[in-house]
Amino acid sequence: MPWKTIIEPFRIKSVEPLGFTTPAERERLLREGGFNLFNIPANKVLIDLLTDSGTSAMSAEQWAGIMRGDESYAGATSFYRFEKKVRELTGLREVIPVHQGRAAERILFQLLGGPDKVVIANSHFDTTRANVEVSVAEARDLVIGEAARIGVPHPFKGNIDTLALEGCLKELGHKVPLVIMTVTNNSVGGQPVSMANLREASRICKQYGVPLFLDCARFAENAWLIKKRETGFSTLPVRDIVTEMFSYCQGTWMSSKKDALVNMGGFLALSDPALAKKAREVLIIGEGFTTYGGLSGRDLEAVAIGLDEVLDEEYLAYRIRSIEYLGEGLRKAGVPIVEPPGGHGVYVDAKAFLPHIPSRLYPAQALACELYRLGGIRTVEIGSLMFGKKGKDGAFIPARAELVRLAVPRRVYTQSHIDYVIEVFAKLAEDARGLRGLDLIEASEHLTHFTAKLAPAAA
């Protein structure tokens, strides 16, 4: 294909207005909201890159499916369609619907977690870690060392360190109820896991008799990046790549708010009928009957359709290319990013971009606020506001990195929207040195970043 333009592989049937505001209005909203972008009303945001979760645009087919949704309490046709799709996709027989990813995690770790257990992953996503730790088990991350080198590219920064995995299983064996591979690896920037790494992790797990699970929220983006970056996969249909990925696991769960192109939904799928029986008992108590979980029939229908649509290679080419394009634009504007760009967004390295702002003045939050002030763009800080801690003596312990995540909703924005984001960054880069940090003035003990209040630091 000789064309340079990223052509969105859809035309637009239904539109929503963007939230245009004046600079004075944004200034006021920032002050009133304590320089916390979670406090900005969505209709006051022009381009919303806060998250790619539940923010997809559904297709005409999915909306048609919504009308066809069967709302019967038990045995709805929508459930059987959903079950069939998930079985086809994963090769796993036992399919349990849940309202979103963390509900599957709660059920799974209520059954498999517990004191003395150690759950191993390439990286646990936040909610996964929380559910493991609530069960009083330990959540241990064994991502490869390359993941920490922000500006240095590596094709599969999401990989697990297989030597460390083997060492842990040898040492802990029976204490490890399962090993998780998160695809793509959200916590390190939406970075993919290679097929070779999945294969090797699976071999090691088999050797020690430990089941391997996929946390598969972005399985399709991961499969596309395998096709593009791993030797031997370039001519294979993405469906075959997905089939091979799932062939290595004995269980999986999905936050369908990502690659199933829906606004709500999820599932847990297992090979072990005995475990599935127990999971369904927990499901009925907390989520709902076994053929709907926490979902409406129409949601099940939309997920089933989305799981097909996401494997359309025209869609995936557009999706991943548009993220790369954003990364290229930022790089050209002199903005340092996590290299290479991930599957669902670009992460800006605020520490390198704003070296004059120390971590204790939250450089990534300062940058996120400036993007809003200047251009009405909403992003999210992944740095010391989210992960910073207080030491025993009350001293500030910064996060390992100060990042701003630009997560791109699926099928929502066009190239002109992305060009605008790049333009705002280029403008901001002209006077990056003039940007000031933020003082934290009010914070809660847990999940600080949702409720924190900040104010511009003195010059």
Ligand X SMILES: *Cc1c(COP(=O)(O)O)cnc(C)c1O
Q: How far is the CB of 23 from ligand X (least distance, A)?
A: 33
**Spatial distance between the Cα atoms of 95 and 80, rounded to a whole number of angstroms:** 10
Which of 226, 145, 239, 153 has its CA nearest to residue 184?
226
Nearest CA among 156, 227, 225 for reference residue 197: 156
Question: Min. distance of Cβ 365 from ligand X in angstroms?
Answer: 22
CB of 323 to ligand X, least distance (A): 15
Q: Which residues have a Cβ under 8 Å from the Cβ of 28 and sit 6 or more positions away?
A: none
Q: Which of 88, 86, 89, 127 is nearest to 108 (CA)?
A: 127
Distances (CA, A) of 14 to 17, 57, 60: 10, 10, 9
Residue whose CB is less far from ligand X, 77 or 127:
127
> Of residues 258, 279, 407, 452, which has the active-site annotation?
258
Where on the phi/psi map is residue 454: left (φ > 0), alpha (ψ -120 to 50), or beta? beta
153 within 8 A of 147, measured Cβ to Cβ: no
Is the CB of 269 or the CB of 335 nearer to ligand X?
269
Strands 212-215 and 251-255: parallel
Judge whether 390 counts as a catalytic residue.
Answer: no
| Residue 5: partners with Cβ closer than 8 Å, 6 or more residues away | 415
Helical (H) or strand (E) element with 200: helix 195-207
- Our CB check for ligand X shows the closer of 21 and 191 to be 191
**Of 217 and 348, CB closest to ligand X:** 217
Identify which of residues 227 and 405 has a Cβ nearer to ligand X in the complex. 405
Q: Is 201 a catalytic residue?
A: no
CB of 117 or CB of 257, closer to ligand X: 257
Nearer to ligand X, 343 or 363 (CB): 343
- When CB distances to ligand X are compared, the closest residue is 101
Any catalytic annotation for residue 217?
yes
- Three-state DSSP state, 139: strand
The question of whether 124 is a catalytic residue gets the answer no
Amino acid at residue number 420: Y
For residue 160 the two structure tokens come to 């697990």
Count of positions (residues) in the chain: 459
Token code pair at residue 410 = 């699926």
Instruction: Determine which one of 38, 84, 126, 396 is catalytic.
Output: 126
What single DSSP character describes residue 56? P
Taking the complex as a whole, the smallest distance from the CB of residue 187 to ligand X amounts, in Å, to 8
Q: Which is nearer to ligand X, 184 or 359 (CB)?
A: 184
Q: Which of 137, 217, 302, 317 is catalytic?
A: 217
Q: Cα separation of 429 and 434, whole Å?
A: 10
100 or 197, CB closer to ligand X?
100
Task: Tell the smallest beta-carbon distance from residue 233 to ligand X (Å).
Answer: 22
Provide, rounded to whole angstroms, the least separation between the CB of residue 221 and ligand X. 11
Distance of alpha carbon 173 from alpha carbon 140, whole angstroms: 14
Task: Kindly list the distances between the CA atom of residue 57 and the CA atoms of 39, 53, 228, 402, 425, in Å, as whole numbers in the listed order.
Answer: 23, 11, 25, 30, 25
Asked about 419 being catalytic, the answer comes back as: no
The one catalytic residue in 279, 304, 449, 452 is 449
Among residues 141, 161, 215, 349, which one is catalytic? 215
Q: Smallest gap, in angstroms, from Cβ of residue 52 to ligand X?
A: 9
List residues binding ligand X (CB under 6 A).
53, 100-102, 125, 127-128, 182, 186, 215, 217, 255, 257-258, 266
> At CB < 8 A and 24+ separation, what contacts does 241-246 make?
241/195, 242/89, 242/311, 243/91, 244/195, 245/183, 245/195, 245/198, 245/214, 245/219, 246/89, 246/90, 246/91, 246/92, 246/214, 246/216, 246/219
Nearest distance from residue 186's CB to ligand X, in Å?
A: 4
The pair of structure tokens assigned to 35 is 């320089």
* Closest separation in Å from C-beta 182 to ligand X: 5
Query: Residues with catalytic annotation?
Result: 73, 125-126, 215, 217, 258, 449
